[in-house]
Structure 1
């Protein structure tokens, strides 16, 4: 008869570190001899944990995800020998490791069990799905069916979690069919998992069909749809569903608010957002953390910066998301200088900026043409090790180009280890902004040589560069290359660029013919006619200007621009009667020219960087 050794150090650590285990060990004296003889061991081993006690402790540790204590229990079970040939404990141990994210250890135990229950298969599938290994979860699910085990209502939610990727939507639909055949489609937990899978894959129509057929819905059902619509660029449906849920059931929780507040932010629905905020205050909900960040983002995007700042200042603890929301709101809709000052305050308070922070602040510098601050921020980026991030590098390229330092822009561009399409487009646009059309065309060709396929934005950048520098032939060639080589249908702004290219070169008749001969979308776009009107103003062609102005007025009747331009052209020709007619027509339509103003920005320099 062999007796397993009981290390005294294991028992000591269990009793001291895991208080609940002291119930089993505090009465039993520690033996200085770790391996007593069989004759000495009998009475002492009566105090070892039984199989049932170990199972209960493992279940508790699984629920609390306490890996440290789980490792101690595992060591105790190995030392005491209670784990040998014990499928019950091995199953509990596998569940503990899977719940704590130690999927490899869980799989090793799983593979060593000969007779696996459905619960054990579910444990491993959940572990793979929950900790970022969806393909392994789906493979294990397939193996489970191959071994003759039937999936149950606890299996499908984990399998559907593994299908929450657009590339796996076909697999998810196949599992949906299996769910319908097995009769679990009406189970609320399985149906909620289907909603989550379809929303993550961007298939909200499929999710809506599942939602409409559900015989029983709970709060999780509504929350999944609310957040799904917000995530898939349908904020109006998200807000409407939240309103219906609140009106019909009166139920909501923090997840409901975290789903609907981003929808309000995207819609800039300030009125509805403030009503939700008031509802939260009346209910006594604590406004901090994620909820407060969501409200700050909503108020910032809705240009209610006073409310956003009050919430921000009242927060007991502010993370990078809080700072990003308030800085972004100030930079885009309020005082950009205040946004830069907030960034400096964020830096002084020791909150490390993330990529979003840097992009927002660099964008603010670009709008303010704050070159000195931008250069200081560039140095800050280098010190923090963010210089190799492609989006940060692209923002720096754009900043230097807009602030007049094209050489620095090109230097940053050349030093970028990775360049994407946006980076190339920014550099092309920078050349066009500085009137360097030939360099812009060369950069565009260099981009294609590197295997980067141009898109609509990059074609806009290069056509605009050709327009600003009078490269008529190059512009025409690139425009036709867009449709003939890359099979991209030109949009109105591409047509506007060609009209501008021809108009600046004095080919007004060709520009007019180009508009008439193109598709109907270009003829019905006011921007195209405005490009022709601007060219007519440069070259004093009143006849074509009248045609362009009439088309703009018919497409944008509340736009004062064509009235002003054609009136000024009549004045240059001393056609005072026509000037009075145009002004009278504008007044009759209730239009008034806005007074002009100038903006002078002194360089704010370096603030606390």
Structure 2
């Protein structure tokens, strides 16, 4: 019996051989899975199982989890435990992990009369690798209470879950058990996982101690301790370990570059990049990303130019990152240049590049170009759909935004997320979309897709309600969804009151913000109330507020248009 999950070949537990071609005949490759799946429910299930395994081994992947669930069911019904493990490994490795698959895997596991440690580990690692960390840890604790003796793979999966959930105390308890069982001694993999767990939990002293007491260290060990130092802002200690490291690799350099970039030290980041023996595009992309994330868009385009002059071969991420900077700068010639570069490199159709181009063109007001990019994409992920919906929202085209959302709902393997609804609610709040439609989207988000409203979602709904004079309803939204102590929500409501010139409602909102302690430092409140009182010719109150503004040093800035700024920039 096989005792591991094969990375390359799934082995059927019998020597009998079935040919895929003899079973499915001349059916086209794209229809093979639809042929095999119905057959699994009929009397020839074993033959179909053979054919399906051959499909997997030849690289033919199903489009969804349904065939894999059938394969697991037939394997379980015939007692092919080893094959079930291998199929489970295939499911996790190839990103097919869904609730339906795990539910069936749980059922198979529960039906096993005497599961061994490999069976336990398969399910635990499956949960952890798919991001279901709490369930993975619960199963690990259940294993710990069972008669089965856990091994190093059981502990490494549990430590990985603790690292992601930042459960340092549980991680330390697992560490104690590892020491008690003598597993830590001489086991590099376990030691590396302990360093990673302590580092991600912020327990740097423990991470260093584990590293120092390891009898053997490999490159992963050194990278783990350098990464732990970098993540916790211990840059000097990280550099010290870096200089002690026998053979630093690209991962080591990139960790340090990333740490310096996140601390805002681009000079040291570039010095480390310059000292790399073989820097790759990801090393350069780390600094480029840092500029964009720090809203230093001009520096990002300058750095991109430096990458080009240094002979760096751009990848899809280089292009998507610089496109994000160009989108915020709204420099169309630069965008066209990068688009041409993507075409030349054959990267235009890559999802990450195409999505960035959609975003860039829509932010530059070139909606037709964005549409063209979207519809010519051979494969669209949710990011691309969201980018296009956001493009319509940004350009005030509520009809097309809602039409595209309805098309997204028809997609078989995609479903709207929080960003989709954020874009929809934004377009509803800025356009004259009927209130019942806006509320319908909000309720759909909660009831159909199980998405908990964030303050951003509520702010869009508040803005939509207040702009239609429904100030009282907007206040209810703030209170009912738990944002009554959130200054951002009240600030948005105040802005809506200002737009409606509703002084009475604005005074109520300001009173609430004063109670929350938001008013003293918020210059926006003084400016809004000063303008509202002036509109209603309440000059005594205007004089009083402006006196407070002078005492606090609050000044209304002189406005300048984007066109003026561009003209000034062109003269530099």
TM-score normalised by the chain length of structure 1:
0.63
Once structures 1 and 2 are overlaid, which stretch shifts more, 593-602 or 334-343?
A: 593-602
Q: Is the 8 A contact 2:316 2:353 kept in 1?
A: yes
Q: Which residue of structure 2 lines up, in the alignment, with residue 453 of structure 1?
A: 415
Q: Is the 8 A contact 1:226 1:260 kept in 2?
A: yes
Q: Which residue of structure 2 lines up, in the alignment, with residue 213 of structure 1?
A: 177
**Residue 194 of structure 1, CA deviation:** 4.8
Q: Is the 8 A contact 1:393 1:412 kept in 2?
A: yes
The answer to whether residue 212 in structure 2 is matched with residue 243 in structure 1 is no
Residue by residue, what CA displacement relative to the aligned partner does 1:7-64 show, whole Å, maximum 9, x if unpaired? xxxxxxxxxxxxxxxxxxxxxxxxxxxxxxxxxxxxxxxxxxxxxxxxxxxxxxxxxx
Q: Which residue of structure 2 lines up, in the alignment, with residue 569 of structure 1?
A: 532
The answer to whether residue 353 in structure 2 is matched with residue 388 in structure 1 is no
**Residue 102 of structure 1, CA deviation:** 8.6
Where structure 2 has 5 or more consecutive residues not aligned to the other structure, the ranges are 16-81, 94-104
**Residue 489 of structure 1, CA deviation:** 3.9
* Residue from 214, 220, 224 that aligns with 1:259: 224
Q: Which residue of structure 2 lines up, in the alignment, with residue 477 of structure 1?
A: 440
* Residue from 476, 491, 507 that aligns with 1:516: 476
The answer to whether residue 541 in structure 2 is matched with residue 578 in structure 1 is yes
Q: Which residue of structure 2 lines up, in the alignment, with residue 94 of structure 1?
A: none
Once structures 1 and 2 are overlaid, which stretch shifts more, 291-300 or 310-319?
A: 310-319
Q: 2 CA distance for matches of 1:352 and 1:213? A: 48
Question: What pairs up with 1:319-338 in 2 under 5 angstroms?
Answer: 319-333=280-294, 335-338=296-299
Where structure 1 has 5 or more consecutive residues not aligned to the other structure, the ranges are 1-97, 110-124
Q: Say which SS state the counterpart of residue 381 (structure 1) adopts.
A: helix
Change in Cα spacing, 1:553 to 1:282, as seen in structure 2 (3 Å) is: farther
Q: Which residue of structure 2 lines up, in the alignment, with residue 357 of structure 1?
A: 318
Q: 1 CA distance for matches of 2:132 and 2:535? A: 66
Change in Cα spacing, 1:477 to 1:302, as seen in structure 2 (3 Å) is: same
Question: What pairs up with 1:166-565 in 2 under 5 angstroms?
Answer: 166=130, 185=150, 189=152, 193-195=156-158, 198=161, 209-214=173-178, 215=180, 216=182, 217=184, 221-228=190-197, 235=200, 237=201, 239-240=202-203, 242-246=204-208, 250=212, 255-256=220-221, 258-259=223-224, 262=227, 272-280=233-241, 283=244, 289-333=250-294, 335-347=296-308, 349-451=310-412, 452-473=414-435, 474-505=437-468, 507=469, 510-516=470-476, 519=480, 521-555=482-516, 556-557=518-519, 558-565=521-528
Q: 2 CA distance for matches of 1:596 and 1:244? A: 54
Change in Cα spacing, 1:195 to 1:478, as seen in structure 2 (3 Å) is: closer
Q: Is the 8 A contact 1:362 1:399 kept in 2?
A: yes
Residue by residue, what CA displacement relative to the aligned partner does 1:145-185 show, whole Å, maximum 9, x if unpaired? x9x9x989xx9999988986339998998798778877855
Q: Is the 8 A contact 2:392 2:401 kept in 1?
A: yes
Residue by residue, what CA displacement relative to the aligned partner does 1:500-524 show, whole Å, maximum 9, x if unpaired? 123334x1xx223332365051333
Q: Is the 8 A contact 2:348 2:354 kept in 1?
A: yes
**Residue 423 of structure 1, CA deviation:** 1.9
Change in Cα spacing, 1:571 to 1:601, as seen in structure 2 (3 Å) is: same
Q: Which residue of structure 2 lines up, in the alignment, with residue 91 of structure 1?
A: none
* Residue from 116, 123, 129 that aligns with 1:165: 129
User: What root-mean-square deviation, in Å, do the aligned CA atoms of Structure 1 and Structure 2 show?
Assistant: 4.8
Q: Is the 8 A contact 2:124 2:154 kept in 1?
A: no
**Residue 334 of structure 1, CA deviation:** 6.3
**Residue 312 of structure 1, CA deviation:** 1.7
Change in Cα spacing, 1:412 to 1:163, as seen in structure 2 (3 Å) is: closer
**Residue 372 of structure 1, CA deviation:** 1.6
Change in Cα spacing, 1:158 to 1:298, as seen in structure 2 (3 Å) is: same
Once structures 1 and 2 are overlaid, which stretch shifts more, 290-299 or 495-504?
A: 495-504
Q: Is the 8 A contact 2:549 2:555 kept in 1?
A: no
Change in Cα spacing, 1:550 to 1:245, as seen in structure 2 (3 Å) is: same
Change in Cα spacing, 1:279 to 1:484, as seen in structure 2 (3 Å) is: closer
Q: 1 CA distance for matches of 2:553 and 2:140? A: 60
Q: Is the 8 A contact 2:128 2:157 kept in 1?
A: no
Larger radius of gyration: 1
Q: Which residue of structure 2 lines up, in the alignment, with residue 87 of structure 1?
A: none
Q: Is the 8 A contact 2:291 2:299 kept in 1?
A: yes
Aligned length: 465
